[in-house]
Structure 1
Amino acid sequence: MSILTRRMTFLIAYLLFMPSFVQAKENLQREKFKDIMEDVTSLSTACKAVGYVNTNCEKNEYVAFDTRMGSSPTLKKGEKAIFEEVNLNVKGGYNFSTGIFTAPIAGLYIFDWTIWVNSMRRAGTVLSVNGMKKSHINCYAAYKYGRTFSCSKMAIVRMEVGDKAWIYSSSGNSYIGMYSSFSGFKL
């Protein structure tokens, strides 16, 4: 059998059986979607059974943001850290040009921030909510020869609609490495 004959046989078989493969794939996708919808219905039924009819199960009140530092600034005391690389911003509460998160919905929020510093550098940072210090960390990389060090902090804060949260430097010349991050979400 020549190469041309084998290719023609393959092409004919492909054309004959391809529609059934496409149909099978579409049926599989429909089945997966149907399974997901059944899970959502089951979850909704369970929520209603335990009394969450008009709260979290029925409403889309998800609020979350996740940001990264795009550069490595040195901040003066009191200067805001602006995390300009936004990976997630559900409900649009984080403003990447000001570095401020504004609560779109009242509730309990969890904030987390990690500060990276290079060898022999330090950074003191504070989580501020409406200008009030809520939590802080001091990070110092006592290592020499190009090593980095990270410090992380988490805080739980009650916020009302329009309350603002941000990170700022609590010490002079805080070096904030480019892998630093600031994240938050509503419980």
Structure 2
Amino acid sequence: MAFHRVALISMVKGFFVFYLILSIKLVEGNCRNTTLKLLDDQIQTIQNSVRTIVNEGSCTSNKGQVGFHAYMGSVKTYAKGAVYKYDQVVTNTHNAYSATTGKFVAPERGLYIFSYSTLSNPGLYSHPMLVVNGKVKSWQACNNSDGKSQHMTCSNTAILQLEKGDVVYLADQFGKATVRKQFTDFSGAKLN
């Protein structure tokens, strides 16, 4: 009887091992099918997301990087508080800078960098201030009042967090600023 019991246990163990091997192969097949199904579902989800973005215009609304660069086409004199108008536009993505008003309107929220430089004639000066929505954010002093025959170049850079629609411009802080043509410029670009 003990012999039959040992033989029966061995036979059950063998059958159980065979069943496990068979089950593993079935699970492996199902895993492959499941994996392919999951990948197919993920690809379908990505395709749907891309279609949604394209249909909503999210892909086409961003025309690339935001940036502008402009300079003055002639020698100009500005009174205190007057907005500097850079009438020679070199770069102007999104048409965010207006040569007519001298103002840049942020087309989107982000971190922006602005750079401005001025060239003052001998014996004259300029004091531009960078203004955002009516508040001064950066200053420059180009005092060439003692200069007899030399021009003076001054520059400044500011990095500012802007919201969509914020208005940025340069204006004179003291009055009767005289700035010289292409050597006086204003640039800005969105960093992120």
TM-score tier, shorter chain, comes to 0.5 to 0.7
Pair 1:166 & 2:169 matched? yes
Q: Does the Cα contact within 8 Å between 1:61 and 1:105 map onto a contact in 2?
A: no
Counterpart position of 1:72: 75
The number of residue pairs the alignment matches comes to 129
Do residues 129 (structure 1) and 129 (structure 2) align?
Answer: no
Amino acid at match of 1:104: P
Contact 1:107 1:159 in 2 (8 A): yes
In structure 1, distance between residues paired with 2:84 and 2:102: 6
Which one has the largest radius of gyration?
A: 2
CA contact (8 A) 1:81 1:99 kept: yes
SS class of match (2:141):
strand
Normalized per residue, which structure has more helix?
2
Counterparts of 1:75 and 1:60, CA distance in 2? 34
Aligned positions of 1:112-151 closer than 5 A: 112-141=115-144, 142-145=146-149, 147-151=150-154
Q: Which runs of 5 or more residues in structure 1 are unaligned?
A: 1-53
Shift of 1:92: 1.1
Equivalent AA in structure 1 for residue 104 of structure 2: F
- Identity over the aligned pairs, expressed in percent? 33
For 1:13-162, list aligned pairs within 5 A: 61-141=64-144, 142-145=146-149, 147-162=150-165
- Supply the AA of the counterpart residue of 1:134: K
8 Å CA contact retained: 2:63, 2:94: no
Structure 1 runs (4+) greater than 4 angstroms displaced: none
Aligned-CA RMSD value: 1.4
The alpha carbon displacement at 1:67 in A equals 0.4
Determine the C-alpha separation between the residues in 2 that align with 1:119 and 1:167.
Answer: 22
TM (norm. structure 1) is 0.66
Which ranges of structure 2 fall in alignment gaps of 5 or more residues?
1-52, 54-61
